[in-house]
Amino acid sequence: MAIADVDSLVKKNSAIDRDAQANTTSIYTAARIFPMLPLKLSTDYTSLNLNQDRLAVVVDMTLDPEGRLLDSDVYRAAVRNHAKLAYNSLAAWLEGEAEIPAAAAAVEGLAENILLQDKAAQMMKSLRHQEGALSLETIEAKAVFQEDIISDLVVEETNRAKQIIEDFMIAANGVTVRFLGVRGIPSLRRVVRVPRRWDRIVEIAAAHAFRLPKSPSPRKLEIFLTMMKKADPRRSITVYERNRADDTFGFGVVFSDATLDNFEKYDAPSYRRITEQFAYWDDIAVHFRGTVHRVGGNGFCGCSRRTLLLILQERARELGVVLLFVLLSPLDAGADHLKALAGVSRQEAVRHDRIETVIEKTTLKCMYDVKTEHDFTTDPRVIELGSAESLLVGLFQERALAEQRAEIPSTGD
């Protein structure tokens, strides 16, 4: 993060410095901007203008793949801005609704850099929420002019491009505070530790059938605030995952052409990212008793599970879904709807009576044991498909029994 170094040009107790003290800040109105500093500085010498070398203070941060800060530094540098980008057009590209802006496409490597920044910003946001950050939204209105007359006020919506700046600035503020602190340099900052009227917040939550603990809890308050958004016509979705963001239980994922067609039909951005990163093949080779049989026209693509996880997480965040990892059973959030997927425990299902347990019963299909030449398709047995694990256990038990009867040799697999 590079921020224009005003101090390098405006000396302490100079006429400009004293004038800035009197102004205290820049004021932005619908019709005009009243800058704290003279225009020659605020719009030129201390502004990171396109294709100009400017002195800046740089906040340098190194993150791990989950958005955690590994290392940081603050230093002065000369920086050069290679592209002037607009929030809305850049956001439309990031959200898969438009082509990349020409200014970004014109600079080699910039598109990949922005995508990496976007991913890092969303990971940092998710991590902050895991640690108890609140979802606070400020409504800003923008005046629409027809010549010199205000004709309308429109709400400035947040978007992915704005979130990159917001999330990086939050991280940069934290780095700066720690940088000053370890060097014994005093600083002024506002820190909200415990709400003074927590008891009143508890009362308000109770009036909406939500119980907050007596001691302040950022996570519980965040759940309550999320619940209250249902009063707004716009709906919000929060996903609670008890594992870490990149935890996988298995190695690869394979999709058929039919599944890919469904991806393209229901969510084109997901389809594009999957087909860009997956390996693709069209034929299948069956090796049986020294003979190879090839069957063409069966399109498949595959990749590692971690790759698919990150693709889907990134797409979910683009759509405004809040992803919270390493969190267990926060299912008392007062949500309109709950969907409990594979992994929810029986205790949780019982405790939250809004979760319906669904068990399918079906005959096994398309399964054939090569060694015993046993066709499971015609097998009259019925297996409960409560989970993939129960199916595997059933197959292992069947194989063990067959080995005991010496029907097939033990292989140890």
| Partners of 383 in beta bridges | 362
Residue 126 domain-assigned (yes or no): yes
Q: Are residues 155 and 30 in the same domain?
A: yes
Is residue 151 domain-shared with residue 259, that is, in the same domain? no
Does residue 205 lie in a domain region?
yes
Note whether 42 and 112 are same-domain residues.
yes
59 within 8 A of 79, measured Cβ to Cβ? no
Q: Are residues 261 and 381 in the same domain?
A: no
User: Which residue bears the tokens 């994922």?
Assistant: 253
Beta bridge partners of residue 154, listed in sequence order? 142
| 127 plus 81 within the same structural domain | yes
pLDDT at 97 over 90: no
pLDDT at 11 over 70: yes
Q: Buried b vs exposed e over 371-409: b needs ≥16 C-beta within 10 Å?
A: eeebebeeeeeebeeeeeeeeeeeeeebbeebeeeeeee
Confirm whether pTM is higher than 0.85: no
Res 227: pLDDT: 64
Mean pLDDT, all residues of the chain = 76
User: In this structure, are 114 and 17 located in the same domain?
Assistant: yes
pLDDT of residue 208: 72
Q: Which two tokens stand for residue 42?
A: 């605020």
Residues 6+ apart with CB under 8 A from 51: 80, 81, 82
Environment class of 197 (CB within 10 Å of its CB; exposed 0-12, middle 13-18, buried 19+): exposed
* Residue 335, domain member (yes or no): no
Q: What is the span of the domain harbouring residue 301?
A: 237-327
* Same domain as 152, residue 300: no
pLDDT at 84 over 60: yes
- Across the range 251-258, mean pLDDT stands at 80
Position 100 confidence tier, pLDDT thresholds 50, 70, 90: very high
Structure confidence at residue 300 (pLDDT): 74
Residue pair 300/256 in contact by the 8 Å Cβ criterion: yes
What digits encode the pLDDT tens for the residues 372-413? 444 444 444 433 333 444 444 444 455 555 555 544 444 443
Most confident residue range from 26-40, 96-110, 350-364: 96-110
If asked whether residues 57 and 176 sit together in one domain, one would say yes
Q: How many CB atoms lie within 10 A of CB 122?
A: 21
Least confident of 125-129, 133-137, 353-357: 353-357
Query: Does residue 98 sit in helix, strand or coil?
Result: coil
Instruction: Please give the residue that has the higher pLDDT: either 50 or 236.
Output: 50
- Identify whether 350 is part of a domain: no
Q: Based on the fold, state whether residues 161 and 204 are members of the same structural domain.
A: no
Q: Compute the average pLDDT of residues 342-359.
A: 48
Does residue 354 lie in a domain region?
no
Q: Is 339 domain-assigned? A: no
The pLDDT value recorded for residue 364 is 44
Could you tell me if residue 337 is inside a domain? Answer: no
Question: Coil, strand, or helix at residue 361?
Answer: strand
- What are the tens digits of pLDDT across the range 293-322? 887 777 777 888 888 888 888 887 777 677
Counted domains in the chain? 4
- The string of DSSP codes covering 67-92 is S-EEEEEEEEEEEEB-----HHHHHH
Q: Are residues 57 and 150 in the same domain?
A: yes
User: Looking at the DSSP assignment, which residues form a beta bridge with residue 294?
Assistant: 285
Q: Express each pLDDT in 179-203 by its tens digit.
A: 999 999 998 887 777 777 888 888 8
In a domain? residue 409: no
Q: Are residues 299 and 204 in the same domain?
A: no
366/286 same-domain check: no
What percent of the chain stands above pLDDT 90?
26
